Chain A
Amino acid sequence: MMSKKTTKVFVLTLFVSSLLIIVIPTITHVVDAGECKYGTMYAWYSIDGINWEKATVHNARLKRGEPFYIKVNVTTKKDNIWACLKLWETGEKNAENSSFEVINGPCDIYEILNMHTIPQKNTIYTYTWKMRIKADAYWAGGNAPLNVRVQFNKNDYISDDIYFTIANIYIVDELWENYTKEIKDKNISTNNNKNISGSEIIIVLIPLLLVVFYIKKTKIT
């Protein structure tokens, strides 16, 4: 049986941790996100696949042939929403003319990735691509915006979309030193991530640990 003091601490801790659960995700995940009535989308850009910058990245400079990574999170807001996703480049109409090519990822640029009907809302889908600037990119010496679009369908005829630019990349007209003409391998790297993120686990654990600490302390005293 907990004492009154312990109970107060416990309630207070729970209250604070609730706030943290609300606030910290808001702080740590302040990214350019798209949102529509059926879902949301977040995107990141990385040069190494480890350190991610939130979209829209404006200061990316890459050489011809140089690789980079992008990651996209899609979440639905309602049950049984069908979704699809497409990467594309401003000013170009197809993959052949694009400045980008996919080395590894769930779909090619300009290819529609069918995410099928997502039965439960708040399901997060994460996709990662390794891409590179084409060695013969036409727009070398200029900017090439890489965009993502997600379409959510309530049925075959009612839908809503989210678009934004992940990165506005300036293509330096030099060939990347480590460029090789590697074979592209499009693996499905779908991560149907139903779990909450690591930071959220910590946020939940901290107050629990505090509660345990105070209970123990109370017992000792």
Chain B
Amino acid sequence: MKKTLKMFLKDDHARIPFSIIGIFLILGSSFTTVYVTKLETEKVEEISNTIDFDEVENLLRYAEADIATALNTAALKGLKMIGETPVTSFSRDKCEEINRNRLKDVIMDELNVYLTGNYLYGSFNDGRYAVDVVIPDGEEYPVTCIDQIGFSKDVVMKMNRFTIPVIGPEGEVKHVTYWVVYVPVKVEVKKLDEPSMNKVVTIRTINVSTIITSRYPFLENLVYEYEDTINGVKPLWSFTTILANIYTLFRGYKHWSTGEPINVVDNVHLAPLVNGGLLMEQGFVFGSVDLMSLVDFTIESGKALQGSIAGSALDEFNEMKDATDGRYNVDTSMLSKDPANKDAGDPFGTKINDCPEINLSEIARVPLYNLASILLYFEDEEGNSLPPVELFQPTGEDIQREVEKQLNMSHRLINVEKGTMIKNETTVDKIKEIISIVYSTEMKTNVKRDPTPIITLGSHNGYPIDNGTSSWVFKSASFKNTIDKPAKGSVLPGCILYGEVYDVYWEREHYYSKNVNGSWSFYTTVDTKTEEDVTLKVILNYYSRYNGTENDIEDVFYRNISVDDENLEDTVEKYVDNYFKPNLDSLIKTGSGDYYIETIHGDYEPWVEVETWDALDEILNMISSIKQNPSINSTTYPDPVDLMEEVKKDLLSKFSSNISKYLNEDVYKNNILFKSVGKKTVYLARVWYVYRIQRDIGKVFNSVEDEITGYLDDAIPSGVGFNEEDVKNTLSGSAMDAVKNQFSIPFGLDIELRNINDEWKENVRLAVDQYPDYLNPWEKVEFNNETFYTMKLRNRCIFGPTGLPLLPPPLPWVVTMNIWVIDVEGEYAQFKVIDSSDETLFNPLFGHEPQVYVRESKVVKNKDQVIGENTRLTYGFTTVTFSIVPSMEFMVGDTTPTFWDEHTPGFK
């Protein structure tokens, strides 16, 4: 063991020389040194890169900001151009897509120029590092297609503006005001020193994003809003419906009373009315109007409505005294009463009574008198009166046809009067029926027999066996006395009006026999019976039973000499002669109980009918004097159905409060009893008539209201988007109150925009420029080498030059009504909205220029392709107006040859 260990220790076969170990040690330390040095170098470099990193980041941020500015500038340029020719010929969503793509196209072109001009070859640098844009291989520009450009969430802002409900747009709305655009740009950062030879330090894609500081989207949305406001059943429709009805109302009343104006609804006046409405809506939507349009509106409306001779536009502008606080106030009477008075040749301030002055005379007349004819008075072209034309029992159509026939001969209707009146035979019969019933009484005959008649048997001595009797046979009756009716004033139901008393004698055979030893013998004797005081009475059941009354006449059944009235006295004799005496024999012989219950009609003097009719005439005159409350007029109740309802309530109330006066009961009664049967008849006829009128008032007015509603519903063409309920709601709503005296056209008002969180607000002032300034339906405009009409009007007088009597004869003619259907359409040759408060569009001459949005007719192209069209801003709607006037006189309608279709030249 020791030996082995020793030998192991001494064995040097594996001996490595120290030199070799030393070499390895040197090599190892060298490697270690190099490695450590490398690490140290990297560490140093790392410390150096951290300092460069911030610098590079800063440079990239500057680049991003700079490119964002360029992006905004490019977008502004694009929106400036697009604003002048937006595509509007498709749906709004599609148009927005097309216009955004156009913007992207412009941005791409402009940005590429900017990027290649400023971000290549180290142009954008801070001395040490440069940022260059990366252009994809095979491409010339960094942004190669518009799809690289995108839009982030739009900036929506809310606005509050001055408006009037129903006739103006919404007061608070939210609109997209700004677009936000982004484009990812790939850049490379290079180090600008000789050793690194522009080495690319890093490549980044920076997402450059910016709000485009142009309110193009806001302008576009406002123009769309304006377009919506002026088409169809929208605010402009409501405004025009209200103003046109006020216009028609006053002109209708004027026509009814004077025959002038002959053209109640005249397109000459509708033109300024619609222009005023368009300007008002413009003012509401944009806070501004085209001032020259406002001036022209003042000039043209003055000419058309007041016949004024205007000065120069500048004079008119300076004279616009009604422009205060950014609003131009228009007196509604300029659009209604003034043209009515002007066309009738009256001074402007002449009061026009707009109360229909409905009275109940027609309703009260109809039960009594039929209008057998109507007289129509005409004058010829020279103003000479012509003999009246009498129409017999005419309908409304008959009257209209005659007036149209005369119009074709250039004759003018100047008056309508009632012609011949004849008594209403139905009422004549009714009066006779009342008389017959009141002059009648019911009577019966009652027979009362002797309950214990005296019977005397005949003698039958010697014949004891009773063999029976025959029947009693009437022998005779002896009149004892009559019974007269009760004294005057004591005749009551149940009393005896007449009677006779008799003793009645009867006989019969009485048979006897005897048997004497088997042999029979027979004997007949005569019995007698005496009925004493058999009473035959004529009894009164009731008299003058009518309408819940009976048995209520003073001294009835006694002739009233003072009023010359039979008073049913003759009825007793009539009954006795017709029923009592002819049947007396049987009554005496066999009567017992009640017989011959009959109604007997008494005679009456002629005065009864005469006095009855006179009484009804008296009531007719009293009813005719009821005056309608003048405050119930078309201004207060522009909806004609509401007007009729209020008039009905007023007249009915006045009528009902005078019923006792109409009945005048005291004249016909003494205390509780009627003075005579005739007087009761007259009174009952009054009652019938008064309550008939009371019922008729309700029925007639309800019928008139139904007719108005029905005719209006029929007159409204189909497909126009509204019905009669919409018209009535518009006329009776708060908007009517807002404009019936005056309306304002706002101009020069700032619009305040706020973002959704109310953290940011800005004031915007817009300007509007429209061409032409005044939309004239009689003059074509020339624009871009095209001539055309910018306004087209048509009005149709539905019920001809006379209107419709309501209700039509032979029913009561309470009012006359007419309806006009008005069609409006047109377009602006050019409509431009200018953002005056925008200062972000650069102009080399003026420093800046505003963002605009223009609507006109243009084909829009992009390079060689047609991408759509810009279309003119159009407006259009249909509405209706009424006129309700009292009956007769001039009636109401357009007494012109074109009443059925009056249209301006451009209306196809």
Contact = CB atoms under 8 A, between A and B. Distances in A.
B791 to A, nearest CB: 13
B696 interface: no
A34 B786 CA distance: 10
Interface string B851-880: 000000111111111100100000000000
| Tier of interface size on chain A | 20 to 34
A48 B866 CA distance: 33
B15 interface: no
A160 B862 CA distance: 16
Interface centre among B81, B784, B787 (most CB of A within 10 A): B784
Contacts of B864: 82, 114, 116-117
Interface in B582-617: none
Give the secondary structure class of A's interface: strand
A84 B859 contact: yes
Interface string A103-146: 00000000010101100000000000000000000010011000
Contacts of B321: none
A112 B864 CA distance: 13
Nearest to A92: B908
A60 to B, nearest CB: 17
Interface string B759-796: 00000000000000000000000001111100000000
B790 to A, nearest CB: 13
A111 B784 CA distance: 20
Interface string B684-714: 0000000000000000000000000000000
A169 interface: no
Nearest to A85: B859
A149 B786 contact: yes
Interface string B45-87: 0000000000000000000000000000000000001001100
A156 B863 contact: yes
A91 B785 contact: no
B729 to A, nearest CB: 31
B908 A90 contact: yes
A84 B861 contact: yes
A77 interface: no
Contacts of B786: 149, 161, 163
A156 B859 contact: no
A162 interface: yes
Nearest to B860: A156
B866 A162 contact: no
Contacts of B861: 82, 84, 153, 156
A146 to B, nearest CB: 13
Interface string B307-351: 000000000000000000000000000000000000000000000
Interface string A153-190: 10011011111000000000000000000000000000
A114 B865 contact: yes
A162 B785 CA distance: 6
B908 A139 contact: yes
Contact of B784 (A91, A112, A114, A161): A161
A114 B858 contact: no
A40 to B, nearest CB: 11
A163 to B, nearest CB: 4
Contacts of B863: 156
Given A91-B908, A161-B786, A162-B785, A112 B866 contact: yes
Interface in B184-217: none
Nearest to B863: A156
Contacts of A82: 861, 864
Given A112-B869, A163-B785, A157 B859 contact: no
Nearest to A84: B859
A36 interface: yes
Nearest to A159: B858
A151 B785 contact: no
| Tier of interface size on chain B | 20 to 34
Interface string A77-101: 0000010101000110000000000
Interface in B828-869: 857-866, 869
A161 B785 contact: yes
B227 to A, nearest CB: 14
Contacts of B908: 90-91, 139, 142-143
Given A151-B859, A153-B861, A161-B784, A84 B85 contact: no
B249 to A, nearest CB: 32
Contacts of B85: 156-157
A112 B87 CA distance: 14
A139 B907 CA distance: 12
Given A116-B864, A139-B908, A157 B785 contact: no
B81 A157 contact: yes
Given A84-B861, A86-B859, A160 B866 contact: no
B784 A160 contact: yes
Contacts of A159: 858-859
Nearest to B80: A157
B832 to A, nearest CB: 15
Interface centre among A36, A84, A156 (most CB of B within 10 A): A156
A34 B785 contact: yes
Contact of A156 (B787, B788, B862, B906): B862
Nearest to A116: B864
B84 A157 contact: yes
Interface centre among A84, A91, A117 (most CB of B within 10 A): A91
A107 to B, nearest CB: 11
Contacts of A116: 864
A156 B858 contact: no
A116 B866 CA distance: 9
B828 to A, nearest CB: 15
A133 to B, nearest CB: 15
A156 B81 contact: yes
Contact of B866 (A84, A90, A117): A84
A163 B906 CA distance: 17
Contacts of A142: 908
Contact of A112 (B788, B857, B859): B859
A165 to B, nearest CB: 9
Nearest to A161: B784
A161 to B, nearest CB: 5
Nearest to A114: B866
Contacts of B785: 34, 36, 160-163
Nearest to A149: B786
Interface centre among B857, B865, B866 (most CB of A within 10 A): B866
Contacts of B787: 163
Contacts of B857: 161
A12 to B, nearest CB: 41
Nearest to B81: A157
Contacts of A157: 81, 84-85
Contacts of A86: 859
Nearest to A112: B866
Contacts of B858: 151, 159, 161
Contacts of A163: 784-787
B148 to A, nearest CB: 21
B607 to A, nearest CB: 69
Contacts of A151: 858-859
A85 B784 CA distance: 15
B885 to A, nearest CB: 35
Nearest to A138: B908
Nearest to A165: B787
A158 B240 CA distance: 38
Contacts of A156: 81, 85, 860-863
A151 B785 CA distance: 11
A133 B906 CA distance: 21
Contacts of B84: 157
A173 to B, nearest CB: 16
7 contacts: A82-B864, A114-B865, A156-B85, A157-B81, A161-B785, A163-B785, A163-B787
Q: Which 3 A-B pairs have the closest CB atoms?
A: A163-B786, A91-B908, A161-B784
Given A151-B859, A157-B81, A160-B785, 11 more contacts: A86-B859, A90-B908, A91-B906, A112-B866, A151-B858, A156-B81, A156-B860, A159-B858, A161-B785, A161-B857, A163-B786
